[in-house]
Amino acid sequence: MLLKKIEKALNDQIRIEAESSQIYLAMACWAEIKGLEGISNFMYKQSDEERDHMLKLVKFVNERGGHAQISALKAPNVTFKSFKEMFKKLFEHEVFVSESINELVHVTLQEKDYATHNFLQWYVSEQIEEEAMARTILDKINLIGDDKGGLYLFDRDIQTLTVNTASAEDIQ
């Protein structure tokens, strides 16, 4: 059975994950109308992934005897000055989500809810990967600068971007 404090914290994270999905969906739409098909497809995939993160939390709360709450969401920004600004916002958002997950983990330790703490370790690892990916993308964008050919290649290549992190299980 979930403590009310833990249930509320998990429900707050459900909202954050749902807002993340909406933010990335808005980014996908912006990229699509700018003709950045690769970036758009990448962002649609990110949006779906964030929704999956939300659903995983919803199921956990309900399975543990709590009640997952689906709440109103803040409307995301729908325009950006450039694709670089958009990815800068993505990185900043991932850092925010990491901080939120870390705070949630802290609450579970304070309340001695080790089952929820264990469940959240997947999110901790996922956020390491998400931040590393966003940082790698920004590094690539900085290499491109204002080169239109570089943007073309980046837009094509982002669909197959993979980032290996220290938390990845397949590191040898």
Residue type, 121: Q
Percent of the chain with pLDDT over 70: 94
Angle among Cα 153, 155, 157 to the nearest 5 degrees reads 65
| pLDDT given for residue 169 in this prediction | 55
| pLDDT given for residue 159 in this prediction | 81
Q: Tell me the pLDDT tens digit for each residue of 62-96.
A: 999 999 999 999 999 999 999 999 999 999 999 99
- Residue numbers of the domain that contains 37: 4-69+79-160
Question: How many domains does the chain divide into?
Answer: 1
User: Rounded to whole angstroms, how far apart are CA atoms 142 and 84?
Assistant: 8
User: Rounded to whole angstroms, how far apart are CA atoms 75 and 25?
Assistant: 11
Residues 90-118: what's their mean pLDDT? Answer: 98
154 inside domain: yes
Residues 9-27: what's their mean pLDDT? Answer: 98
Residues 86-114: what's their mean pLDDT? Answer: 97
132 inside domain: yes
167 inside domain: no
Instruction: Tell me the C-alpha to C-alpha distance, in Å, between residue 161 and each of 70, 96, 168.
Output: 32, 22, 15
Q: Categorize the per-residue pLDDT at 44 as very low, low, confident or very high, splitting at 50, 70 and 90.
A: very high
170 inside domain: no
Please answer whether residues 25 and 86 qualify as being in contact, where contact means their C-beta atoms are separated by less than 8 angstroms.
no
Cα-Cα-Cα-Cα dihedral of 123, 128, 133, 135, to 10°? Answer: 140
- In a 13 Å sphere around the CA of 42, the CA atoms on its Cβ side amount to 21
CATH of the domain at 15: 1.20.1260.10
| pLDDT given for residue 166 in this prediction | 65
146 inside domain: yes
User: Rounded to whole angstroms, how far apart are CA atoms 52 and 45?
Assistant: 11
Q: Which of 14, 30, 11, 17 is nearest to 127 (CA)?
A: 17
Kindly give, in sequence order, each residue whose CB lies less than 8 Å from that of residue 109, ignoring residues fewer than 6 positions away.
Answer: 117
Task: Provide the b/e sequence for 1-11 (b: ≥16 CB within 10 Å).
Answer: ebbeebbebbb
Residues 56-66: what's their mean pLDDT? Answer: 98
